[in-house]
Amino acid sequence: MGVVLQVGEQKITESDLYPLLGQYRLLPQLVKEIIIDQAIAEIECTPEEQQMARNLFYQQNQLTSEEKIQAWLKQQGITREQLEYLSLRELKLEKFKQVTWGNKIEPYFLKIKGKLDRVIYSLIRTKDTGIAQELYFRIQDQENTFEELAKKYSQGPEAQTGGLIGPVELNVPHPTISQMLMGSQPGQLWPPTQIGEWIIIIRLEQRISTPLDQQTQQRILNELFQGWLIAQMQQIVSFLPSTESINP
């Protein structure tokens, strides 16, 4: 078969491509793109939407002149028709997400909202149970502030901030800590709790509710889409092992 790609002295033919894609673990990404193309094939866009998508794509890729367009096409190894398709692909994909999962955003948000809410909390960690108990009672009895004791006794990076951590989403900390914080009221101090090798003391300082704004909606759409894409790869794709191998 004819050469379709040359890298230095190495010439790649059409028959070389499949084993190379497998060798460099690029087949899964190729399959994802094919699944996406199949999914968005019937998605329609208005002329105005198409023009806006083209303008954005050209701007993002700095295709500001015919000379730059031709150089980019050569660099990417694609045709003008493929460029036209690429410029509309993201628009079609976003419309596909909205058509497919737009009505599922709110129910999904209510399901995961607890994990999306952000918290600010204070943490002390030590490996000494006795010290942990003493620190807990000193904070509880207001003999010392949490900040003072965290700076002096905590054995993690939070010591630099007086024990203060956040804001972070509730799905970021260790699962045990997340559960404790989810069931806490601001100001609630938890007694020493063992997590692995550490004994921790935590106190919820503030809970920040996550609104269902445009950013959150887009995040949910992306999560639902990624879940669907993974399921599609598992259900409809069969990789056929190549009998050839390519050596550079």
CA–CA dist 220, 215 (Å, integer): 9
Give the number of other Cβ atoms within 10 Å of residue 229's Cβ: 15
> Two tokens at 95?
């419309």
CA–CA dist 75, 77 (Å, integer): 6
**pLDDT tens digits, residue range 125-181?**
999 999 999 999 999 999 999 999 999 999 999 999 999 999 999 999 999 999 999
The secondary structure of 138-194 as a DSSP string is HHHTTSS-HHHHHHHH--SGGGGGTTEEEEEETTSS-HHHHHHHHT--TTPBPPPEE
- Quick one: pLDDT at residue 246? 45
CA–CA dist 109, 120 (Å, integer): 21
Give the number of other Cβ atoms within 10 Å of residue 6's Cβ: 9
Whether 238 shows a pLDDT value over 90: the answer reads no
Percent composition of the chain: helix, strand, coil (DSSP 3-state, to 5) = 55, 15, 25
CA–CA dist 48, 194 (Å, integer): 59
Closest CA relative to residue 116, chosen from 186, 216, 224: 216
What is the pTM for the complete model shown? 0.81
Q: How far is CA 113 from the centre of its chain?
A: 17
Q: pLDDT grade, residue 14 (50/70/90)? A: confident
Q: Assess contact for 36 and 92: CB atoms under 8 A.
A: no
| Average pLDDT of the residues in 176-194 | 96
> Two tokens at 142?
């207001």
Catalogue all structural domains in the chain, each as residue range(s) with its CATH number. Answer: 3-103+217-236 (no CATH), 118-208 (3.10.50.40)
**pLDDT tens digits, residue range 96-121?**
999 999 999 999 999 999 999 999 99
- Quick one: pLDDT at residue 1? 63
What mean pLDDT, rounded, does the chain reach? 94
Q: pLDDT grade, residue 5 (50/70/90)? A: confident
- Quick one: pLDDT at residue 18? 87
Sign of the Cα torsion 165, 169, 171, 172 reads negative
Closest CA relative to residue 147, chosen from 104, 231, 91, 203: 203
CA–CA dist 138, 203 (Å, integer): 14
Q: What is the percent of the chain with per-residue pLDDT over 70, rounded to a whole number?
A: 96
CA–CA dist 238, 95 (Å, integer): 28
